[in-house]
Amino acid sequence: MSRLTRAAWLYMAVVVTAAVLLLAHVLVQAMAGGQDYLLSRALLVLAVLFMICDSSPTTLTSRQSAWSPSSAATLAAVVLLGPGGAALVGATSLISLRRGGLRERAFNGAMYALSAYASGEAYLALGGHIGVPRPGLFPGIILPFAAAAAVHVAVNHGLLWSMLLLLPPSGASLQRGRLDLHLSLLLVSDLGYATLGLLIAALWHLVGPFAAVLVLIPLFVARWAMGQFAAQEGAYSATMAALCQAVETKDFYTRGHSERVSRGATLLARQIGMGAERVEAIRYAGMLHDVGKLGVPTKVLQKTGPLTEEELAAIQLHPMRGLEIVRQIGFLTEALDGIMHHHERMDGKGYPMGLAGDEIPEFARVIAVADAFDSMTSTRSYRGARSVGEAVAELRKCSGMQFDPVLVDAFIAALAQGRWDSQAAGQPPPAALPGDFPAQVAAQDHDDPTAPLRVVESR
Ligand SMILES: [Fe+2]
């Protein structure tokens, strides 16, 4: 969880306070009513099961979302102990072994306690039986349990998403994007884990607390398998980062450009309502859009004077070189179109293919806008960073000729909604390169529409 806005602090205070009041009510009721579950073996075992699950969340993809199967324990508690016991089990998230500060722990504990209690109430409302379910209770117990599982997922996700919506754009957009990408997977897995709760409760009748162990074993085997997949994705990400680093080492003044274009393209893709998987693909395309510069001689990339026609041709080949470099990376799919065509223009005067209008793949049109915007708002060898306002004016000026007008409007709308982290743009001026005297630095940039490449007669 990143730094919080005032609204997020307020929201968190409300959620945590509600949970504290609820837990106090549960404890008072349990002690006053002489309910014995407070000292029961079931509460202890399920709390430990919850902590084990919550302390070892399943990584969905490398360095990204992680999700815990702990709802299996809270849903089992709903059946075995009722709403109060389930809330106490959920609250143990506060002391789980997962990394995270007190703020995150307090919110998670409150979230799980509230969602567990709500699901327990739903279970009771539909006639669910509290206690170890005997075989005779099936199948009548299934409907109340299904309702409890649905309520648990709805309350849990509702509380979490509300928090993410209140986080500041820079931190939230990343986390939201990751959760958004995996939302269907998260919902299905949460419902699946919840079903395991009924399994634990049903097995309790036969094997007692050992039911938790029987359920944990296949769960952790599945976790291990998903971890292997995440490790493979981690290797892909590291490869892409290395390629970006290589490009930026070669073309010194564009450092950070790939990452920012990636963020700009992702922002625009979300603004126009692209699906989560395509948004993820365009994130990769933004990172790798200039990887073909690895195939352009360094002295050409860093040349400050006018280019010969051969040198211009070498630069204009970089989208095709990029495609050659990364086309074997299977998961890039549509991203390859973005890399290959990001310098096409709507009027057909771009390169390498001279495509026009809708002939240009959508990914390439999106990257073209983000690429030009970042180039203009970043420091270059020949000028400081332009303001966002100046860059927007230039995008408007070139709309329809160079850029897709629909995408320009969408990008400007996203900027107006404050969804671009201006600190991400406008990097500090880079240190001068050896021999980089001001008199030799000329205004030319293949990404910047205000500073086109200049060409002299071929030698
Ligand atoms: Fe490029």
Euclidean distance between CA atoms 61 and 126, whole angstroms: 37
Euclidean distance between CA atoms 47 and 61, whole angstroms: 27
Q: How many residues does the chain have?
A: 459
pTM: 0.61
* 333 C-alpha to ligand 1 centroid (Å): 19
Euclidean distance between CA atoms 281 and 363, whole angstroms: 9
- Within the chain, all domains assigned CATH 1.10.3210.10 are found at 251-440
Higher-pLDDT residue of 437, 12: 12
- Within the chain, all domains assigned CATH 1.10.1760 are found at 6-226
* 353 C-alpha to ligand 1 centroid (Å): 14
* 445 C-alpha to ligand 1 centroid (Å): 10
* 296 C-alpha to ligand 1 centroid (Å): 11
Q: What is the pLDDT of residue 441?
A: 42
Euclidean distance between CA atoms 265 and 256, whole angstroms: 14
Q: What is the pLDDT of residue 64?
A: 45
* 243 C-alpha to ligand 1 centroid (Å): 14
Decide if 77 contacts 85 (C-beta within 8 A).
yes
pLDDT digits (tens, 9 = 90+) for 105-156: 899 999 999 999 999 999 999 998 888 888 877 788 899 999 999 999 999 9
* 322 C-alpha to ligand 1 centroid (Å): 9
* 441 C-alpha to ligand 1 centroid (Å): 20
Chain centroid offset of residue 216 CA = 28
pLDDT digits (tens, 9 = 90+) for 68-107: 778 889 999 999 999 999 999 999 988 877 667 788 889 9
Tell me which amino acid residue 38 is. L
* 319 C-alpha to ligand 1 centroid (Å): 7
Region 251-440: CATH code: 1.10.3210.10
| Mean per-residue pLDDT over the chain, rounded | 82
* 178 C-alpha to ligand 1 centroid (Å): 27
* 292 C-alpha to ligand 1 centroid (Å): 8
What is the CB neighbour count within 10 angstroms for residue 44? 12
* 141 C-alpha to ligand 1 centroid (Å): 61
* 279 C-alpha to ligand 1 centroid (Å): 20
What is the CB neighbour count within 10 angstroms for residue 291? 23
Euclidean distance between CA atoms 257 and 242, whole angstroms: 14
**To the nearest 10°, the Cα dihedral for 13, 16, 21, 25?**
170
The closest of 291, 366, 296, 276 to 327, measured between CA atoms, is 291
* 315 C-alpha to ligand 1 centroid (Å): 8
* 415 C-alpha to ligand 1 centroid (Å): 22
Euclidean distance between CA atoms 79 and 129, whole angstroms: 7
* 365 C-alpha to ligand 1 centroid (Å): 12
* 422 C-alpha to ligand 1 centroid (Å): 22
* 300 C-alpha to ligand 1 centroid (Å): 14
Decide if 416 contacts 361 (C-beta within 8 A).
no
CATH of 6-226, one of 3.10.290, 2.60.120, 1.10.1760, 1.10.3470: 1.10.1760
pLDDT digits (tens, 9 = 90+) for 25-59: 999 888 887 667 777 888 898 898 888 888 876 65
Beta bridge partners of 383: 380
pLDDT digits (tens, 9 = 90+) for 278-327: 998 999 999 999 999 998 888 888 777 788 888 888 889 999 999 999 88
Q: Is 275 exposed, middle or buried (0-12, 13-18, 19+ CB in 10 A)?
A: exposed
* 81 C-alpha to ligand 1 centroid (Å): 61
